[in-house]
């Protein structure tokens, strides 16, 4: 059918009625009807404001996280309906949370999610993010979310500066406890150290990423952290700071959305991924890949100590950590894995008793992985619960299990730097071997304060294995070179909180 005006398509009488109905529908569709008690996403179709019906009150206000909950925005009563336009609230674009005050009393339940576009309308939060499950020098895995099961799991990509687009195809899985879908496409056979562009079949925006170099020449920089999202403004600020430092990638050691695998917390994943989309960008605008390990905030019950129903099965893990295992291609099942970057770097993501025991199959796998990488100059384990905690008790059961089952394997391998999380404080240990200071020991850094509340850590006098400890938000920036590495603790404002360097160990002769 040609694109003729409505009245010509249907005839004058029916056309005007249809036009009136269409205009009425569009006017109503521009407002989102909310009810007390629900916490659904707003804006499958973009809307300009909210409508609340059937509530008998003298005054209804709305407060939101965008101004730190400081201002009360009054809803306007029209007959038996209450309305508010987002533009009247002065909301900045991005993700917010809000809640209603009805006659000066907060409504029951959790905060409500809200994402504002640049044009002031509310819509579903964006989610486009990158990771890897194969060699990062020649592959890239692209994730994105959609609202329609029929949307294709396909995209177009090309080398930056070229005109010819190629097709990339993948698959989709449901986003647990939501109506959205998670799409994944792995691009393979890419050129190392090359910038690429991609876009979606029905989209206009063009995104960029860069593969990693085949050899470490001259250097490579990445950022590591964990315990990401308690307060949205803390997470946003850290994401902006990290992006501005232009890392090749980011490693997150668990403690991501703090959703606990619970259905009512799905909105926290929307907020986390929208923040990465909006703020975790390199200075040239390209997207920065994310490598994520599992932590206690990703799992129902947090650790196996609280799950007497544990069984080593895919079904059990999917039920315990539905978001984490479906949102990220790596590490996938069983919850731990290794990622090799050419022949110069290996990242080992471990599961500190959230979906798998520390001992048994995981420890056996770790021994084999470390044995096979004795020739790799940079080998780093990442895990959530710390072997050498800065805040929690030293004799905590999981920490003790890691020291018993993993630390001896680290010490028998080229590992000289381990990344720990969970304790909300900055920590750098002395080089340790067998729990004692040693020149050839392993330095443990952490403990995870990307965007969470702080806690007072033990002092070096109280725990002699600590070299540095402080209650301050931070990440670790690691610069790799062929013969050495430099590690810096970076604060939320970009300040250097501490640093040290390590030589690369000589290769082990077979």
> Among residues 350, 426, 405, 348, which one has the least CA distance to residue 383?
350
- Token readout for 496 is 């250097």
- Token readout for 43 is 């804006």
Euclidean distance between CA atoms 170 and 153, whole angstroms: 5
Instruction: Round the average pLDDT of the chain to a whole number and report it.
Output: 92
| pTM of the predicted model as reported, rounded to 2 decimal places | 0.91
Euclidean distance between CA atoms 320 and 278, whole angstroms: 29
Which one of 116, 135, 158 terminates a domain? 116
Euclidean distance between CA atoms 68 and 96, whole angstroms: 10
> Among residues 370, 381, 292, 302, which one has the least CA distance to residue 331?
292
Q: Do both 111 and 230 map to the same domain?
A: no
Which pLDDT value is given to residue 148? Answer: 85
Which pLDDT value is given to residue 29? Answer: 62
* In the predicted structure, residue 10 carries a pLDDT above the cut 60: no
Share above pLDDT 90 across residues of the chain, in percent, rounded to a whole number: 85
Mean per-residue pLDDT, 412-440 = 97
User: Which residues on adjacent β-strands are paired with residue 502?
Assistant: 485
* In the predicted structure, residue 510 carries a pLDDT above the cut 70: no
* In the predicted structure, residue 21 carries a pLDDT above the cut 70: no
Q: Which residues are within 8 A (CB) of 243 and not within 5 positions of it... i.e. 6 or more apart?
A: 279, 280, 281, 282, 283, 288
Q: Has residue 320 been placed in a domain?
A: yes
Which one of 83, 116, 149 terminates a domain? 116
Which pLDDT value is given to residue 217? Answer: 85
Q: What is the residue range of 441's domain?
A: 220-503
Mean per-residue pLDDT, 242-269 = 95
Distances (CA, A) of 102 to 41, 114, 302, 428: 21, 19, 35, 48
Mean per-residue pLDDT, 226-253 = 96
User: Which residues on adjacent β-strands are paired with residue 430?
Assistant: none
Contact between 475 and 223 under an 8 Å Cβ cutoff? The reply is: yes
* In the predicted structure, residue 472 carries a pLDDT above the cut 60: yes
* In the predicted structure, residue 25 carries a pLDDT above the cut 60: no
Q: Has residue 149 been placed in a domain?
A: no
Q: Has residue 95 been placed in a domain?
A: yes
Convert the pLDDT of each residue in 334-383 to its tens digit.
999 999 999 999 999 999 999 999 999 999 999 999 999 999 999 999 99
Euclidean distance between CA atoms 157 and 168, whole angstroms: 7
CATH at 251:
3.60.21.10
Which pLDDT value is given to residue 509? Answer: 55
Which pLDDT value is given to residue 127? Answer: 96
- Token readout for 383 is 């895990």
Distances (CA, A) of 83 to 28, 52, 77, 309, 414: 12, 7, 6, 48, 63
Q: Has residue 228 been placed in a domain?
A: yes
Q: Has residue 183 been placed in a domain?
A: no
Euclidean distance between CA atoms 102 and 3, whole angstroms: 47
Q: Do both 266 and 396 map to the same domain?
A: yes
Which pLDDT value is given to residue 3? Answer: 30
Q: Do both 493 and 378 map to the same domain?
A: yes
Q: Do both 468 and 326 map to the same domain?
A: yes
> Among residues 60, 59, 28, 30, which one has the least CA distance to residue 42?
30
Q: Do both 224 and 352 map to the same domain?
A: yes
Q: Has residue 100 been placed in a domain?
A: yes
Convert the pLDDT of each residue in 104-162 to its tens digit.
999 998 889 999 999 999 999 999 999 999 999 999 999 999 988 888 999 999 999 89
In total, how many domains does the chain have? 2
Q: Do both 99 and 229 map to the same domain?
A: no
* In the predicted structure, residue 24 carries a pLDDT above the cut 80: no
Which one of 116, 151, 178 terminates a domain? 116
Q: Do both 359 and 482 map to the same domain?
A: yes
Q: Do both 109 and 226 map to the same domain?
A: no
> Among residues 251, 247, 250, which one has the least CA distance to residue 220?
247
Backbone angles phi, psi at 470, to 5 degrees: -165, 150
Euclidean distance between CA atoms 367 and 237, whole angstroms: 38
Mean per-residue pLDDT, 300-329 = 96
Q: Do both 98 and 247 map to the same domain?
A: no
Q: Has residue 475 been placed in a domain?
A: yes
Q: Fill in the DSSP letter of residue 11.
A: -
Convert the pLDDT of each residue in 97-114 to its tens digit.
999 999 999 999 888 999
Q: Which residues are within 8 A (CB) of 479 and not within 5 positions of it... i.e. 6 or more apart?
A: 219, 220, 221, 485, 486, 487, 488
CATH at 95:
2.60.40.10
* In the predicted structure, residue 244 carries a pLDDT above the cut 80: yes
> Among residues 363, 355, 365, 369, which one has the least CA distance to residue 325?
355
Among 260-269, 322-331, 470-479, the range scoring the smallest mean pLDDT is 260-269
Q: Has residue 210 been placed in a domain?
A: no
Q: Are strands 49-53 and 81-85 parallel, antiparallel or unpaired?
A: antiparallel
Contact between 143 and 131 under an 8 Å Cβ cutoff? The reply is: yes
Which pLDDT value is given to residue 202? Answer: 82
Burial (Cβ within 10 Å: 0-12, 13-18, ≥19) of residue 18 = middle
Mean per-residue pLDDT, 454-482 = 97
Among 193-197, 217-221, 333-337, 425-429, the range scoring the smallest mean pLDDT is 217-221
Q: Do both 416 and 272 map to the same domain?
A: yes
**CA 124 from chain center: how many Å?**
17
* Radius of gyration over every alpha carbon of the chain, rounded to an integer in angstroms: 25
Q: Fill in the DSSP letter of residue 153.
A: S
Mean per-residue pLDDT, 37-66 = 91
């Amino acid at each position: 059918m040609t694109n003729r005006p409505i009245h010509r398509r249907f005839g004058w009488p029916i056309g005007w009625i249809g036009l009136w109905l269409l205009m009425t529908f569009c006017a109503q569709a521009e407002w989102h009807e909310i009810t007390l008690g629900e916490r659904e996403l707003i804006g499958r179709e973009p809307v300009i404001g909210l409508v609340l019906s059937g509530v008998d009150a003298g005054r209804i206000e709305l407060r939101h996280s965008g101004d730190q909950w400081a201002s009360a925005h009054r809803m306007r009563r029209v007959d038996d309906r209450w309305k508010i336009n987002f533009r009247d609230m002065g909301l900045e674009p991005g993700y917010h949370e809000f809640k209603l005050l009805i006659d000066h009393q907060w409504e029951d339940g959790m905060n409500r999610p809200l994402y504002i576009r640049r044009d002031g309308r509310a819509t579903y939060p964006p989610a486009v993010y990158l990771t890897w499950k194969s060699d990062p020098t020649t592959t890239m895995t692209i994730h994105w979310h959609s609202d329609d099961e029929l949307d294709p799991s396909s995209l177009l990509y090309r080398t930056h500066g070229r005109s010819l687009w190629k097709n990339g195809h993948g698959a989709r899985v449901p986003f647990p406890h939501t109506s959205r879908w998670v799409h994944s496409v792995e691009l393979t056979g890419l050129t190392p150290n090359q910038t690429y562009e991609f876009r979606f079949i029905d989209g206009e925006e063009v995104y960029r990423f860069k593969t990693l170099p085949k050899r470490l020449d001259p250097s490579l920089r990445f950022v590591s952290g964990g315990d990401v999202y308690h307060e949205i403004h803390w997470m946003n600020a850290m994401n902006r700071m990290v992006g501005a430092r232009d890392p090749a990638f980011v490693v997150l050691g668990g403690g991501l959305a703090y959703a606990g695998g619970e259905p009512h917390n799905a909105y926290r994943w929307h907020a986390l991924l929208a923040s990465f989309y909006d703020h975790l960008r390199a200075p040239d605008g390209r997207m920065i890949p994310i490598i994520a390990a599992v932590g206690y905030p990703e799992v129902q019950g947090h650790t196996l100590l609280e799950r007497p129903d544990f069984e080593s099965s895919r079904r059990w893990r999917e039920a315990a950590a539905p978001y984490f295992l479906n949102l990220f291609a790596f590490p996938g099942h069983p919850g731990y894995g290794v990622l090799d970057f050419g022949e110069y770097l290996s990242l080992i993501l471990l599961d500190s008793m959230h979906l798998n025991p520390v001992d048994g199959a995981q420890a056996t796998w770790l021994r084999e992985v470390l044995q096979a990488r004795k020739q790799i100059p940079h080998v780093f384990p990442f895990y959530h619960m710390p072997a050498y905690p800065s805040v929690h008790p030293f004799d905590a059961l999981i920490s003790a299990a890691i020291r018993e089952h993993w630390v001896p394997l680290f010490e028998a391998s080229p590992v000289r730097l381990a990344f720990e999380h969970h304790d909300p404080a900055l920590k750098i240990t002395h080089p340790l071997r067998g729990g004692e200071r040693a020149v050839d020991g392993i330095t443990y850094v952490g403990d995870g304060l990307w965007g969470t509340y702080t806690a007072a850590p033990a002092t070096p006098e109280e725990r002699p294995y600590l070299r540095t400890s402080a209650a301050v938000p931070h990440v670790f920036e690691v610069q790799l070179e062929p013969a050495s590495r430099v590690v810096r603790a970076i604060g939320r404002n970009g300040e250097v909180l501490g640093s040290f360097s390590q030589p690369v160990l000589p290769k082990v002769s077979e």
